[in-house]
């Protein structure tokens, strides 16, 4: 068949393939049955916001598979970017830095699509640090194609995250002048309704951010830093952690902080004047026997008063109480505390 790269525009190829395939996934060999194409077409469709590389072939994991974005979602993305150009009074975006353009897009999208800034990017709003070139948005799964098409057309690299896994991993070193945007498709109404506004942008709340870090097992530095610097709603956080099965990990970290700081951190008067007894009664252990339940509660109440010979063994023993194989050392906790700008959190302890 004749090579059609020079004969038809990429949009014409997309329109024809959507007429044939609709939302069915495909690989290069399958679409070459419909029309003669060079092998670059699938990646060009992806890079220009017409398709998403969704997952590997079940037989040959090296073979990429693709899914076309619907014409409605592609039209939304194209229309949005045309409107943005009109607002900015530019014909092209090439004279705007990619980072500035990203935030202009987020500001303009606020009234059109629901999203939250999440991940390390959200952490940077709460605890200013130096972050890399990866941004993360938490979105509703039904809006994925609109977001993907917008960012791909801007020549960013949209990475689709479903159930904590990136399904379209791209070799970023091939695009050193572009930035990654993780599209995390796990947004819920609870996430969205608890959002904070920073610089007029919706940011995931610190409680949900801590929860997501615990679930994804990201570097615990971020969890500890948030616990140290933010006015956390602990009843909410503990309840969320219990629902997701990470309450032991959370309470281990809280008690480790108490030990490192040599003060009663969790039950600070600003946190509803919670007492240890009311705290332990707040936690539910429905899967445990009465004996196991009583043992867990006793461990929780007496953990702070146990005679531990040194701090490192304390963290090891404390981890065992929560079913965690802990290698945490006091020096690591001290590093977190020292790295935090004390001006931002010292008043919390006054």
Specify which of 114-118, 267-271, 333-337 reaches the highest per-range mean pLDDT: 114-118
236 and 122, same domain (yes or no): no
At 81 the pLDDT is 96
Q: Looking at residues 68-80, what average pLDDT do you find?
A: 97
Residue 97 has pLDDT above 80, yes or no: yes
For the chain, the domain total comes to 3
N-term to C-term CA, the chain: 76
78 and 184, same domain (yes or no): yes
- CA 322 – CA 315 distance, rounded (Å): 11
Structural domain including 15 reads: 10-68
At 266 the pLDDT is 55
At 83 the pLDDT is 96
102 and 29, same domain (yes or no): no
Judge residue 77's burial from the number of C-beta atoms within 10 Å of its C-beta, 0-12 exposed, 13-18 middle, 19 or more buried.
Answer: buried
Write out pLDDT tens, residues 202-212. Answer: 999 999 999 99
Specify which of 50-54, 146-150, 260-264, 284-288 reaches the highest per-range mean pLDDT: 146-150
Q: Are 4 and 13 in contact (CB under 8 A)?
A: yes
Write out pLDDT tens, residues 205-237. Answer: 999 999 999 988 777 778 888 988 888 898 899
302 and 276, same domain (yes or no): yes
Q: Which residues contact 7 (CB under 8 A, 6 or more apart)?
A: none
At 137 the pLDDT is 96
Q: Which residue among 201, 233, 262 closes a domain? A: 201
Write out pLDDT tens, residues 128-142. Answer: 765 555 799 999 999
Does 284 fall in a domain? Answer: yes
Does 308 fall in a domain? Answer: yes
**Measured CA angle at 49 (ends 89, 81), to 5 deg:** 15
317 and 345, same domain (yes or no): yes
Residue 18 has pLDDT above 60, yes or no: yes
């Amino acid at each position: 068949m004749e090579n059609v790269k020079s004969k038809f525009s990429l949009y014409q190829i997309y329109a024809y393939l959507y007429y044939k395939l609709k939302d069915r996934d495909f690989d290069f060999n399958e679409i070459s049955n419909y029309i003669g194409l060079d092998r670059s077409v699938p990646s060009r469709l992806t890079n220009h916001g017409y398709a998403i590389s969704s997952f590997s072939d079940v037989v040959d994991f090296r073979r990429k598979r693709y899914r076309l974005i619907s014409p409605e979602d592609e039209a939304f993305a194209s229309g949005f970017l045309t409107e943005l150009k009109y607002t900015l009074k530019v014909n092209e975006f090439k004279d705007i830095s990619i980072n500035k353009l990203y935030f202009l897009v987020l500001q303009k999208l606020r009234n059109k699509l629901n999203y939250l800034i999440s991940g390390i990017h959200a952490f940077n709003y709460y605890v200013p640090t130096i972050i890399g070139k990866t941004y993360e948005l938490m979105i509703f799964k039904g809006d994925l194609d609109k977001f993907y098409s917008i960012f791909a057309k801007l020549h960013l690299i949209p990475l689709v995250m479903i159930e904590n896994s990136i399904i379209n991993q791209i070799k970023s070193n091939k695009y050193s002048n572009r930035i990654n945007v993780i599209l995390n498709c796990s947004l819920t109404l609870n996430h969205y309704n608890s959002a904070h506004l920073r610089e007029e942008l919706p940011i995931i709340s610190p409680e949900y951010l801590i929860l997501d870090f615990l679930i994804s097992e990201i570097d615990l530095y971020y969890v500890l830093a948030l616990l140290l610097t933010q006015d956390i709603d602990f009843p909410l956080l503990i309840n969320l952690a219990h629902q997701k099965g990470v309450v032991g990990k959370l309470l281990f970290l809280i008690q480790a902080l108490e030990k490192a700081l040599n003060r009663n951190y969790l039950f600070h008067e600003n946190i509803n004047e919670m007492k240890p007894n009311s705290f332990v009664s707040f936690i539910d252990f429905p899967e445990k026997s009465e004996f196991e339940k009583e043992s867990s509660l006793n461990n929780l109440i007496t953990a702070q008063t146990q005679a531990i010979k040194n701090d490192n063994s304390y963290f090891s023993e404390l981890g065992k109480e929560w079913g965690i194989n802990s290698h945490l050392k006091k020096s690591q906790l001290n590093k977190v505390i020292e790295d935090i700008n004390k001006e931002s959190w010292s008043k919390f302890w006054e």
